[in-house]
Structure formats: C-alpha cells, structure tokens
C-alpha cells in the first residue's frame, strides 16, 4: 500500500488510524446515505460501501491506493439509533439505553487499487454495550456538555459517556468508530499490508 485515503472526517477514526501507525489523507464522502437493507450488519456495510465508492469516483486512485470507509451505528433490539436530531432526541435515546444492553455495529469497506483494477472487501463488526441505569438529571447534565450532538446513540464511550458504560462484550475500538484489530487482520489477509 502506497497511499491510504480515509473516507471520513471523524476525529475518532483519525486517532485510531494514527495509533495504528498509518499516514493517510482524508477525502470526505458527501453521498446521500440511502439504505435498502434492514439487517443491522447489512445496513452498516451498505453505508460504508456508498462512502467508499463515492470517494473512489472522486479520487480515481492510482495503483497502491487503499480507500477506507466506515459507518458505525447503534442498535437497540433492531431499532437504529443514529446521531440525535436535537437535545430532545438525545434524551429519548439515552433514556432508551438506560439499564439496557445495545449493540454497536461498524461496517467497513476497503477498495484497494492494484494492477489497474479495484479489489473490494467489506465486513461488519459488532460489540455489545451495557448501560447503567440513568436518572433524568444524569442524562440532562450529559446532554448539556454537548458531547452527544454528533454521536450515534447520543454518547461517546471514549469521552464523558464512558461513566454510563457498565460493561462491554467485544472490541472497544469498534464502539469508538473503527474495529482496529479486525481491520488489521483483514488488511493482512488481503495482502494490503
């Protein structure tokens, strides 16, 4: 791999990739996120594919270029909890998550340009997260920090929201926004690194 392009402006994904030791460029996808799938794992993969293809078409990459796109969503049962529309929506989501287990699923698509053609690989990774019981005051105080605004499920496990997490089963970095161990294994398995 000669060049890595991250199809995301997420500061969390930037940090995770940097911690993996990669240098990369950022090209943000502005594709409309329309989903046709209903299964949570298929939804996140579909969204990551949309972003990867959008950036691929923008960049027209040379051989040795890898485009990495990811999409992370929170699911409670099969209800999709995306980014909150406003504080009221954030309150609703956090109230629903209180005292319950939910799933954070990330879809990842890699498009690797090699020998004049694009090779594409996609996967999803899930992590279960258990929240403590939250009072309305705890939720309102957290919303007042501003942290829930751009976070799927209205919380950040790597930030102030960590205090609500009673336990996780699976990959922590996946909840942050990129399943680092799985990504590394996939890149090795496909001969990208």
Q: Is residue 87 flagged as an active site residue?
A: no
Give the residue from 66, 36, 70 showing the smallest Cα distance to 51: 70
Give the residue from 176, 93, 167, 171 showing the smallest Cα distance to 131: 167
Distance of CA 74 to the CA centre of its chain: 9
Q: 103 CB contacts (<8 Å, ≥6 apart)?
A: 40, 74, 75, 76, 126, 127, 128, 129
Q: Name the catalytic one among 15, 39, 57, 71.
A: 71
The residues carrying an active-site annotation are: 71
């Amino acid at each position: 791999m000669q060049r890595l392009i991250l199809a995301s402006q997420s500061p969390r994904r930037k940090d995770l990739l940097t911690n993996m030791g990669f240098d990369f460029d950022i090209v943000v996808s502005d594709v409309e996120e329309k989903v046709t799938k209903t299964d949570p794992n298929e939804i996140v993969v579909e969204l990551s594919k949309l972003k990867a293809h959008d950036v691929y078409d923008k960049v027209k990459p040379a051989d040795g270029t890898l485009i990495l796109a990811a999409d992370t969503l929170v699911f409670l049962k099969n209800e999709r909890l995306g980014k909150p529309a406003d504080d009221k929506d954030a309150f609703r989501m956090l109230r629903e998550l209180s005292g319950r287990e939910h799933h954070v699923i990330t879809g990842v698509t890699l498009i690797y340009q090699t020998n004049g053609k694009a090779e594409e690989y996609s996967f999803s990774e899930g992590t279960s997260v258990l929240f403590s019981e939250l009072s309305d005051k705890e939720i309102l105080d957290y919303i007042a920090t501003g942290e829930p605004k751009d976070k799927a499920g209205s919380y950040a496990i790597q930030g102030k929201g960590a205090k609500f997490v009673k336990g996780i089963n699976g990959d922590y970095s996946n909840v942050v926004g990129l399943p680092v161990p799985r990504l590394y294994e996939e890149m090795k398995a496909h001969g990208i690194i």
